[in-house]
Amino acid sequence: MNFTLIATATFGLEKVVADELKQLGYDDLMVENGKVTFEGDEMDIVTCNMWLRTADRVLIKMAEFKAESFEDLFQGTLAVNWGDIIPITGFMHVIGKSVKSKLFSVPDCQSIVKKAVVESMKRKYRRDLFPENGAEYKIEVAILKDVVTLTLDTSGPGLHKRGYREFAGEAPLKETLAAALVLLSKWDPSKQLADPLCGSGTIAIEAAMIGRNMAPGLNRSFASEQWEIIPQDMWSDIRDFARNSINNKEFRILASDINGRLLRTARGNAEKAGVSNNIAFQKLDVKDFSSKKKCGVIITNPPYGERIGETKEVEELYKTMGRVFRELPEWSYFILTSYEGFERLFNKKSDKNRKLYNGRLKCYLYQFMES
């Protein structure tokens, strides 16, 4: 079947997701706030879930229409042939959101959509009751300025869940955001990479997976893996291909932190991800960070000083980072923080900065290229 697919993205990462899709061979991409839309079939659903590192989810767009009343919403939903994808046993779970729209009661919209989906299924299967004891089909009704978008979620748990993170640090980065920082830095394994404030190691682990060409979805399952429309051997073929694509490049990423407990977590996560040989973990204060390598890349996510009483400490830390990193003039560094006065304390103006969101927190990725 042909589908319109949507790779959802955290605000600020849409272009990174689009670049990943281009790399995977997709064109005709439509890039909008929070999403990239493209065309694909069953194999593309499998491929994108398996390989996209920076998208949150892969959805099938089922319909888009204007609705100013519950009747409009019901009729628009009923017009979709849900039974083309959902089988008799399918468990139809509806979630919703509404922004700046006449239909603002999300629970009401959800129940109307559910009623209309069941009505459409009744017509297709010529039966009245559906046991809903099979695979899950999560339907989202998203209404923005009276325009309804209906989607089916092929991913299930968000794609940041790679399956390697058993323990998180204090303020771990989402895996999708960590992977985006690495892709934005254009790092490749021929260059030394370091994260001297690595916490639970997300940036180093994601970078190692990129360096080894490991598919981020290899060790997890997806909602649509249970769907009848996607043959099981598509999943096993793509997993075999992903396994065979892993390279044995030798490189060692430096990941250090002042907190020994977090480093233990980081080591455990790296092991689970299968990249512990590519990361050298070390307990080290960033003030003592140095390298004999002439060139390299630092990608790091220091504390932001969000909690009361932390500001002074974080300000001192940023000053120290500025001093230490300047000792490595031919390195480039990428620093993600929500702290507004970062460049002043770091004592260097970035070549470029990029607005990104870490959860709900507005951050900037300050990019300093080697001089």
Chain positions contacting ligand SAM, by CB under 6 A: 169, 171-173, 197, 199-200, 202-203, 257-259, 262, 285-286, 301-303, 317
| Residue among 22, 31, 26 nearest 44 (CA) | 26
Minimum separation from the CB atom of position 175 to ligand SAM (A) = 9
Tokens describing residue 170: 């204090």
Cβ 279 to ligand SAM, closest distance in Å?
A: 13
Question: Phi then psi for 117, rounded to 5 degrees?
Answer: -65, -45
Q: Is 239 exposed, middle or buried (0-12, 13-18, 19+ CB in 10 A)?
A: middle
Residue with tokens 């398996």: 50
Name which of 101 and 259 has its Cβ closer to ligand SAM.
259
Distance of closest approach, residue 216 Cβ to ligand SAM, in angstroms: 15
Of 5 and 270, the one with the shorter C-beta distance to ligand SAM is 270
Question: In this structure, what is the dihedral angle of CA atoms 264, 174, 177, 241, given to the nearest 10 degrees?
Answer: 80
| 64/316 with CB nearer ligand SAM | 316
Q: Which of 131, 166, 142 is nearest to 73 (CA)?
A: 142
Q: Which is nearer to ligand SAM, 35 or 160 (CB)?
A: 160
Min separation Cβ 285 and ligand SAM, Å? 4
Tokens representing 147 are 């325009």
Q: DSSP H helical segments within 126-185, as ranges?
A: 175-185
Would you list the DSSP string of 88-121? Answer: TT-EEEEEEEEESSS---HHHHHHHHHHHHHHHH
**CB nearer ligand SAM, residue 92 or residue 203:** 203
| Least distance from ligand SAM to the Cβ atom of residue 35, Å | 25
In the complex, which residue's CB is closest to ligand SAM?
Answer: 199
* Angstrom distance (rounded) from CA 190 to CA 203: 17
Q: What is the dihedral of CA 302, 306, 312, 313, to 10 degrees?
A: -40
Tell me the closest approach of the beta carbon of residue 299 to ligand SAM, in angstroms.
Answer: 9
Which CB, 149 or 282, lies closer to ligand SAM? 282
CB of 318 to ligand SAM, least distance (A): 10
